C-alpha cells in the first residue's frame, strides 16, 4: 500500500499543469464558457444508444469521436478508430488520477456526470471537471474511479457499436496506465522529485494487481509489454507501438485482436 502525505486539492488542480497536457485538467475557473458549456458529459457519451441519434458531438458524441479518429488516421476499419479513441481517453483519465494520487495524496471525484468532453477536440482529449471534490488517493479508489467509473462503461458502449474484443480494450487500459506512470516518473526524476517517481511506481504496481489489468501485460522496471495489440499497425504507415505484443506488423493474427 502507498502511504501518502495528503494535501487538499486546490480548485484549479494547479500541481497538474507542469506535467503537460495529458495530465492537466480544466476545472470550474477554467471550465467551459459560452457554447463550450453545452459540451456533453462523459456520462452522456457512455449511455447514448447506438443508432438513436445522429452521430454528432451532442447526439452520439462517442460515435462522432470514433468517426473523427478513424478519418484522421485514414484507418480501413472503424474498430481501429474505436481502439485508438478509447486508448486516448484512457490515457487522459489514468494520467489525471494517478498524478493527483501521487502529488496530492487524494483524487478528484471524476464521476462521468462531472466531466465534460469535447469529442471534436484534438489529442489529448479535452476534459473539464465541473466540480472539484476530493476522494482518497489509494489504489482501490483510483481503480474504482477509472476502471469502474469510466473504462467499463466506455468499453461496453464501444462494443455495442463496433467489433472490438474486450481483451484488446483491457490491453489498451493497461498500456495507458503504464504510459501514464512512465511519464510521471520521467517528469519526477527530471525535476528532482524521486519521492514522486517512487510513489508513482508503487501505485501503478498496485493497480496492475486489479483483475481487469493483471493479465494485460508484463512489466520490467518502467518498461511494459502488452499481451494484445491495439490494431494501430493496420493504419497506413502505422507500424507497431513500443509496447506491442508484436515486434513487427503481422499479416493477420486473431490473437492481436482478442488479447
Give the C-alpha separation, 47 to 40, whole Å.
11
* Span 169-190, average pLDDT: 96
Range scoring the smallest mean pLDDT among 5-9, 81-85, 125-129, 222-226: 5-9
Range scoring the smallest mean pLDDT among 5-9, 91-95, 243-247: 5-9
Could you read off the pLDDT of 143-159 as tens digits, one per residue? Answer: 999 999 999 999 999 99
Q: Is pLDDT above 80 for 23?
A: yes
Q: Is pLDDT above 90 for 112?
A: yes
Res 8: pLDDT: 82
Q: What does pTM read for this prediction?
A: 0.90
Res 254: pLDDT: 47
- Per-residue pLDDT band for 253 (boundaries 50, 70, 90) equals very low
Amino acid at each position: 500500500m502507498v502511504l501518502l502525505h495528503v494535501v487538499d486539492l486546490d480548485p484549479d488542480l494547479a500541481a497538474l499543469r507542469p506535467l503537460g497536457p495529458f495530465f492537466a485538467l480544466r476545472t470550474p475557473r477554467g471550465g467551459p464558457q459560452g457554447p463550450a458549456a453545452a459540451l456533453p458529459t462523459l456520462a452522456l457519451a457512455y449511455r447514448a444508444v447506438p443508432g438513436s441519434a445522429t452521430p454528432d458531438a451532442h447526439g452520439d458524441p462517442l460515435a462522432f469521436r470514433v468517426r473523427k479518429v478513424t478519418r484522421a488516421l485514414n484507418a480501413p476499419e472503424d474498430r481501429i478508430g474505436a481502439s485508438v479513441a478509447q486508448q486516448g481517453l484512457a490515457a487522459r483519465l489514468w494520467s489525471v488520477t494517478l498524478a493527483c494520487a501521487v502529488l496530492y495524496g487524494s483524487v478528484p471525484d471524476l464521476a462521468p456526470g462531472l466531466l465534460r468532453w469535447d469529442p471534436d477536440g484534438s489529442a489529448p482529449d479535452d476534459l473539464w471537471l465541473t466540480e472539484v471534490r476530493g476522494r482518497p488517493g489509494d489504489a482501490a479508489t483510483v481503480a474504482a474511479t477509472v476502471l469502474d467509473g469510466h473504462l467499463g462503461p466506455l468499453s461496453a458502449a464501444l462494443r455495442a457499436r463496433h467489433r472490438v474484443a474486450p481483451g484488446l480494450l483491457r490491453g489498451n487500459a493497461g498500456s495507458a496506465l503504464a504510459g501514464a506512470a512512465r511519464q510521471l516518473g520521467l517528469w519526477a526524476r527530471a525535476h528532482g522529485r524521486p519521492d514522486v517517481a517512487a510513489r508513482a511506481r508503487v501505485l501503478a504496481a498496485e493497480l496492475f494487481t486489479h483483475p481487469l489489468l493483471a493479465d494485460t501485460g508484463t512489466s520490467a522496471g518502467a518498461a511494459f509489454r502488452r499481451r494484445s495489440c491495439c490494431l494501430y499497425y493496420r493504419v497506413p504507415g502505422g507500424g507497431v507501438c513500443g509496447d506491442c505484443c508484436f515486434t513487427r506488423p503481422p499479416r493477420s493474427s486473431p490473437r492481436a485482436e482478442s488479447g
